[in-house]
Amino acid sequence: QWYQRRVTGERRSYVSVVKTINVFRDLICTAEWVTGRELIKIVKCYCKYLPLSQSNETDVSNVVRRILKIIREESVGPEATNSADGISAFFKTDIKPCNLGRSDLQDNILNSIVELLAELDTSKSNIVNMALEHIHSNERILTYGHSNTIRDFLLYGRKARDFEVIVCESGPSLKGHKMAAELSEGGIKTTVIADSAAFAIIHAVNKVIIGTHTIMADGALRATNGVHQVAMAAKFFSVPVIVCAPLYKLSPTHLCSYDPDAFNKVIGPEKMLNFSNANLHSKVLISNPDFDYVPSDLIELFITNTGGHAPSYLYRIISELYHPEDYDLDNMCVEDVEDEMAT
């Protein structure tokens, strides 16, 4: 019955993430388990019910990984987590597994989950408050398509600085139009250009600020279709590309194959070519991919809720946020949590 509470197709990733956490919170309270290990097994088992196999549900799977890490940390106990970093963990041979009973363990886990929720709550405002550090006056900023984070980022910057924004329409879906309308209502001078004009205009732009759907482990992006070529044009003219995204979008997955079909999701072409052109539809292969892979060397800076990071630093953040066992959520083999910490 809790599966039905899982909302699929939720556009705003933050909302779906919060709902997922609530679902798992209920699961932790109601399921039958005694040790942390059993709970991890249960959580991983229920993961199968979530549409995690779809490549675009990365926010949800990231949050599940965070929960699993919380469970692991809590079941090992406070001493081990304190000394988990650094050389001392190497030499510790006799960490006693924490023998917390279920109720204590559950309380600890639930408290940590509440902290996680608080962190997610403030993630957007943390990013937005950094706007003034990254926008100077009389700038021209290029952005692509629609992103709630970027919109709030720019509107916050408008309060103190005067700048101009150029928005790329973003292809068949024309999400850029919505972004432009929202930005100009907020008092920012906005110009809408076609995606094809990105190269023409980018030399006159000071920086490119974009949002993304997912950040991959090496700093690459899975972003809206068309971002890759804007980033390439920016690189050609040495215009910095800045990505603003909260950390729950950071996923410990890598690009497994360069085959675009393994990575991408293709949606219906009715926005590209009317079905009244049915004659053509039957003869022509029309592709309307939803995502774009942007390699990490095209990106200058990530602005996340914990601050600004270079793409090369993301591996460190991943090792803090997620446990290596959880990188592959389908992996059901859960080793002894206590044994692992002891080695």
Can you give the binding site for another protein, defined by CB under 8 A?
A: 140, 164, 169-172, 174, 177-178, 180-185, 187-201, 203-204, 225-226, 228-229, 232-233, 236, 258, 260, 264, 270-274, 277, 280, 283-289, 292-293
Nearer to another protein, 48 or 159 (CB): 159
What is the smallest separation between the CB atom of 226 and another protein, expressed in angstroms? 3
CA pair distance 184, 182, nearest whole angstrom: 6
Nearer to another protein, 97 or 269 (CB): 269
Nearer to another protein, 162 or 336 (CB): 162
What is the smallest separation between the CB atom of 253 and another protein, expressed in angstroms? 19
Among candidates 226, 129, 210, which has minimal Cα distance to 165?
A: 210
Nearer to another protein, 183 or 334 (CB): 183
What is the smallest separation between the CB atom of 168 and another protein, expressed in angstroms? 9
CA 277 to chain CA mean position, Å: 38
What is the smallest separation between the CB atom of 277 and another protein, expressed in angstroms? 7
Nearer to another protein, 100 or 192 (CB): 192
Question: C-alpha angle with apex 238: 233 to 243, nearest 5 degrees?
Answer: 75
Neighbouring CB atoms inside 10 A of 68's CB total 23
**Do residues 293 and 287 touch, judged by C-beta distance below 8 A?**
no
**CA separation (Å) from 28 to 36, 173, 252?**
11, 40, 24
CA pair distance 222, 55, nearest whole angstrom: 10
Helix (H) or strand (E) holding 339: helix 337-342
What is the smallest separation between the CB atom of 90 and another protein, expressed in angstroms? 44
Nearer to another protein, 229 or 306 (CB): 229
CA pair distance 50, 62, nearest whole angstrom: 13
What is the smallest separation between the CB atom of 298 and another protein, expressed in angstroms? 10
CA pair distance 218, 178, nearest whole angstrom: 31
Nearer to another protein, 215 or 227 (CB): 227
What is the smallest separation between the CB atom of 186 and another protein, expressed in angstroms? 8
Torsion sign across C-alpha atoms 313, 319, 322, 326: positive
What is the smallest separation between the CB atom of 177 and another protein, expressed in angstroms? 4
- Write out 111-167 in H/E/C secondary structure: HHHHHHHHHHHHHHHHHHCCHHHHCCCCCEEEEECCCHHHHHHHHHHHCCCCCEEEE
Nearer to another protein, 119 or 164 (CB): 164
Nearer to another protein, 88 or 274 (CB): 274
Tokens of 3: 């599966």
For residue 258, the one-letter residue type is: Y
* 168 three-class SS: strand
What is the smallest separation between the CB atom of 21 and another protein, expressed in angstroms? 32
DSSP 242: E
- Residue with token string 């085959």: 259
For residue 66, the one-letter residue type is: R
